[in-house]
Chains A and B, each alone.
Chain A
């Protein structure tokens, strides 16, 4: 029994070890965010101190002091609108080209940084001018995550350092990396990035024990996602996914705001709106939208430039305004069904996610398309966080369920003439590793430019540029003689690493695809240091934990081998190995990583003769040509 205790370092020396295992699920939304925890496969959202609201508006107010997040930040819209940042998720991992398409839809001043000197960098992320600060979307998101972490710690009364964070399935690589960076800034270790629709399905699937094909229709504040999932024997398999990273309930608000302005103009008013007017008007528009969920008409007063006007907006007015937006979602849905070779009637259930699915016209469009009433018995604002919490529990405590996700967008390389050569198609299950061979097109060519892009279009300039790097040092060869293998690896978080290697010589380059923030690496490192006072301790702690995990594995492996082949164990080896194990166990009780690693190495040395005789014995058995299974 004493030995067994030592086998579980999680239960031994460190008093904080258990608490550190706490992992929450975070839905970091465009408009609203939610944090949840799951215990014994029962997830629950974490509410504010008064036990009231689960929702934290993804709004940050940058006053003179520390940033204020949530409802309190939203209250500043009426008084100090230029310092209030909302919908920042739309800018995550985004660069110059995106800002053009978003122009006018953002209620704050966006600055596009100058191109950096470092040409190898990917697309430059935008910055925001807020009050007297210049902020990256990553920093703003980190402030929101910090607030969620604080809420979780207050609610659970213990430190929270690990989380599963959800992202739209349609998020590209840059936006995923930016999300992970924001978590790092907030002092949160991301166990896994999980796609929002997958998380929602997880929340529903566990509740209902569902089997079959399900669609998740997720219309949030700023993003639209549609995913098809097959659930069978505890495995959630994403079959196909699609969406629009810039389409959501915010657009409904804009439509109403424009409608109200048009009504005022008809009444003779001429409104020149500044940023704070626009924010107040949008707030009014959102109230109208929410009112129209239960009422057929809403009366509204608009007070701009000192003139107040009254208007009535009917539900059918509203539905006419958003008809185009809603049909864009159904067109994307049909495309995804086609991708998966599925007819609407094959879908067993439709899950609704996101506050915008409360809009009756949206529900009706979904019901019409699938010819069935969608499921909505879990609060659409909470369902994603609940699923994320379940996944966080599964990753830390084990689970019978498994999520198998896919890449949302095709990944490829630029080839001659600006044409994209796809290396990984969209909807490929992850993790995935795929390589493609290229060659040089000029005699004596010593370098090759590798340009990684993401998207479905055929031309490079119509896809998102993820990274550019050069493979240099290719030895002089005739055109077409070099064999350059470009390897794409997408991990379980959906993050891409690309490496290139010249096969005949072994020259190799590798890049992790990272968005740049318009600030250099040193600044980013400083930012990280400033925000994480305990960064160094955290890292040392992690290395120590890793050393312990590795040592434990080592001991278990050697003991298993001793049990399996006791006949081959000489008394001397037996003694040496047991001594080495005892030393290593003692070292694991301490907190010096080097001592643990040295003891682990000593164990490896002590057990080497035994391992060699096991190997020899197996080879001898194989050489005698008899059935090895019988000997074992």
Chain B
């Protein structure tokens, strides 16, 4: 289902063209390098999935994406342009930054879900002044936080981390289903839940190191 190959999906019949800044000739809008003069191009408005040659889906083969990411960084990173002109250095920095952003977004399930919601025109909860409107989830989070406050040894905290992780994994599976069905309202709710679960795991970890340091 997921194609982790290169940029070229082979399905584009009418690739959009722009002018290459270097040889002034035509270059495909999404190309990283000009196929005529080999000059690095500015990153276009490519969506994060397309950048890795993927269809839009919540299920992502992270290892495959990482392999593509590393292969592309080998070509685009500013270290490869240290002796090139300032313009090429600047473009390389932009390309590497866009690639980093795409990889970081796809790698992190919450970021990926937020991104997919926004692509679908749905504003995720919790960011940009939106408040979370899910009393059940808020109650659950409060209970978890209390339990964490009461925990006084690493074993208890470890068990809590394990439990929230299990719940997070289940939540990710549900999210994949919801996105596959374009059920964005459900996906939005599940995304908020996943974000809470991740936050709890983080807080539990912080508590664990505090207990370790004490």
Q: Which residues of A contact B (CB under 8 A)?
A: 191-192, 232-235, 237, 331, 334-335, 338, 394-396, 402-404, 428-434, 437, 489, 491-492, 546, 549-550, 553-554, 556-558, 560-561, 564-565, 604, 607-608, 611, 614-615, 617-619, 622, 625, 627-628
* Cα–Cα, bound, A628→B179 (Å): 34
CA of A431 to CA of B94, assembled, Å: 8
Contact present for B22 and A549 (CB under 8 Å): no
Contacts of A432 in B (CB 8 A): 97, 100-101
If the complex has contacts A431-B96, A546-B86, A622-B15, are A492 and B78 also in contact, measured as CB distance less than 8 A?
yes
Partner of A431, one of B83, B84, B97: B97
Shortest CB-to-CB span from B36 to chain A, Å, is 5
**Distance between Cα atoms of A614 and B17 in the complex (Å):** 12
With A491-B93, A557-B23 as known contacts, state yes or no: A429 contacts B104, CB within 8 Å. Answer: yes
A433 to B104, CA, bound (A): 12
Tell me whether A615 and B36 are in contact in the complex, defined as CB-CB below 8 angstroms, given that A433-B101, A550-B85 are known contacts. no
A395 touches B82 (CB 8 A): yes
Number of interface residues of B (CB under 8 A): 46
Contact A338 B82 (CB under 8 A): no
Whether the Cβ atoms of A191 and B209 lie closer than 8 Å is: no
Q: Indicate if the CB atoms of B82 and A429 lie closer than 8 Å.
A: no
> Which chain A positions have C-beta within 8 A of B181?
none
Give Cα A428 to B94, complex, Å. 15
6 A-B residue contacts at CB 8 Å?
A191-B82, A396-B82, A491-B93, A549-B85, A553-B88, A627-B13
* Residues on the A chain within 8 Å of B87, using CB: 550
Q: A433-B97, A549-B84, A627-B13 are in contact. List 10 more A-B contacts (CB 8 A).
A: A237-B70, A338-B208, A433-B98, A492-B77, A492-B96, A560-B38, A564-B36, A608-B24, A615-B17, A619-B17
At the interface, yes or no: B49 with Cβ under 8 Å from chain A?
A: no
Check if B23 sits within 8 Å of A558, measured CB to CB. yes
**Given the complex, which residues of B lie within 8 Å of A549, measured CB to CB?**
83-85
Asked whether B79 lies within 8 Å of A403 as measured between CB atoms, the reply is yes
Smallest beta-carbon distance B134→chain A, Å: 23
Option from A430, A491, A611, A614 in Cβ contact (under 8 Å) with B100: A430
**With the chains together, A630 CA to B158 CA distance in Å?**
59
Minimum distance in angstroms from A10 CB to a CB of chain B: 9
Could you say which residues of chain B place their CB within 8 Å of the CB of A604? 24
CB closest residue in chain A, given B77 = A402
Cα distance, A561 to B100, chains bound together (Å) = 31
CB of B74 closer than 8 Å to a CB of A: yes
- A233–B112 Cα gap in the complex (Å)? 26
Cα distance, A487 to B37, chains bound together (Å): 32
B85 near A233: Cβ-Cβ < 8 Å: no
Q: How far apart sit A394 and B81, CA to CA, in the bound complex (Å)? A: 11
Complex: A603 Cα to B23 Cα, angstroms: 11
Q: How close is A567's CB to chain B, nearest CB, in angstroms?
A: 13
A171–B127 Cα distance when bound, in Å, is: 30
Contact B73 A431 (CB under 8 A): no
Does B44 have its Cβ within 8 Å of any Cβ on chain A?
no
> In the assembly, what is the distance between CA of A615 and CA of B19, in Å?
7
CA distance A233 to B71 in the complex (A): 9
Given A338-B208, A432-B101, A433-B94, are A233 and B82 neighbors across the interface (CB < 8 Å)?
no
Contact B100 A395 (CB under 8 A): no
Cβ–Cβ contact A334 & B86, under 8 A: no
Q: B14, B84, B97: which contacts A625 (Cβ < 8 A)?
A: B14
Q: Are A607 and B24 in contact (CB under 8 A)?
A: yes
Nearest Cβ distance between residue A416 and chain B, in whole angstroms?
12
Q: Which 4 A-B pairs have the closest CB atoms?
A: A611-B24, A557-B37, A618-B26, A557-B23
Please indicate the chain B residues that have their CB under 8 angstroms from the CB of A608 in the complex. 24
With A235-B74, A428-B104 known as contacts, the answer to whether A560 contacts B23 (CB < 8 A) is yes
User: Within 8 Å CB of B22, what residues of A?
Assistant: 553-554, 557
Tell me whether B64 is interfacial, beta carbon within 8 Å: no
Query: Is residue B205 within 8 Å, beta carbon to beta carbon, of the partner chain?
Result: yes
Asked if A404 contacts B77 (CB within 8 A), the reply is: yes
User: Is B155's CB within 8 Å of the partner chain A?
Assistant: no
Task: Check B84 against A565 for contact (C-beta < 8 Å).
Answer: no
Least CB distance, B86 to chain A, in whole angstroms? 7
| B120 interface hit (Cβ, 8 Å) | no
- Give the CA-CA distance A492 to B89 in the complex, in Å: 11
Q: Which has the most chain B C-beta neighbours within 10 Å: A331, A492, A550?
A: A492
Which of B37, B83, B103, B208 is within 8 Å of A396, CB to CB? Answer: B83
Contact partner, B26, options A394, A429, A433, A619, Cβ 8 Å:
A619
A561 touches B36 (CB 8 A): yes
Instruction: Tell me if B139 is interfacial: C-beta within 8 Å of chain A.
Output: no
A611 proximity list for chain B (CB < 8 A) = 19, 23-25
Cα separation A282 to B37 with both chains bound (whole Å): 61
Q: Is the CB of B82 within 8 A of A614?
A: no
Q: Which residues of B contact A334 (CB under 8 A)?
A: 209, 212
Are A561 and B37 CB-contacts (below 8 A) given A331-B213, A395-B82, A402-B73? yes
- Chain A residues with CB under 8 A of B93: 431, 491-492
Q: Is B151 an interface residue (CB 8 A)?
A: no
In the complex, are the beta carbons of A395 and B79 less than 8 A apart?
Answer: yes
Contact B100 A429, beta carbon cutoff 8 Å: yes
- B39 in the interface, Cβ–Cβ < 8 Å? yes
For B37, B77, B78, the residue with the greatest tally of chain A CB atoms inside 10 Å of its CB is B37
Contacts of A558 in B (CB 8 A): 23, 37
What are the interface flags for B134-157 relative to A under an 8 Å C-beta threshold, 1 for contact and 0 otherwise?
000000000000000000000000
Q: Are A232 and B70 in contact (CB under 8 A)?
A: yes
Chain A residues lying within 8 Å of B19, measured Cβ to Cβ, are 611, 615
CA distance A568 to B88 in the complex (A): 28
Question: Which residues of B79-129 have CB atoms within 8 Å of chain A's CB atoms?
Answer: 79-80, 82-88, 93-94, 96-98, 100-101, 103-104, 128
Roughly how many angstroms separate A560 CA and B39 CA in the complex, as a whole number?
A: 11
Q: Please state if A625 and B13 are interface contacts (CB–CB under 8 Å).
A: yes
Which residues of the other chain, A, contact B86 by a CB distance below 8 angstroms?
A: 546
Q: Which B residues are in CB contact (< 8 Å) with A618?
A: 17, 25-26
Please, which residue of chain A has its CB at the minimum distance from the CB of B70?
A235
A536 CB to nearest chain B CB (Å):
19
A492 touches B79 (CB 8 A): yes
Of chain B, the residue at the smallest CB distance from A551 is B85
Identity of the chain B residue whose Cβ is nearest the Cβ of A554 in the assembled complex = B22
CB distance from A400 to the nearest CB of B (A): 8
Q: How far does the alpha carbon of A321 sit from the alpha carbon of B163 in the complex, in Å?
A: 40
Give CA–CA (A235, B181) in the complex, Å.
38
Question: Taking CB as reference atom, which chain A residue is nearest B100?
Answer: A429
Measured CA separation A235–B82 after assembly (Å) = 17
| CA–CA, A156 and B37, complex, Å | 38
Q: Are A235 and B73 touching (Cβ within 8 A)?
A: yes
| A192 & B15 in contact (Cβ 8 Å cutoff) | no
Q: Let me know if A335 and B209 touch, CB within 8 A.
A: yes
Flag if B103 contacts A429 (CB, 8 Å): yes
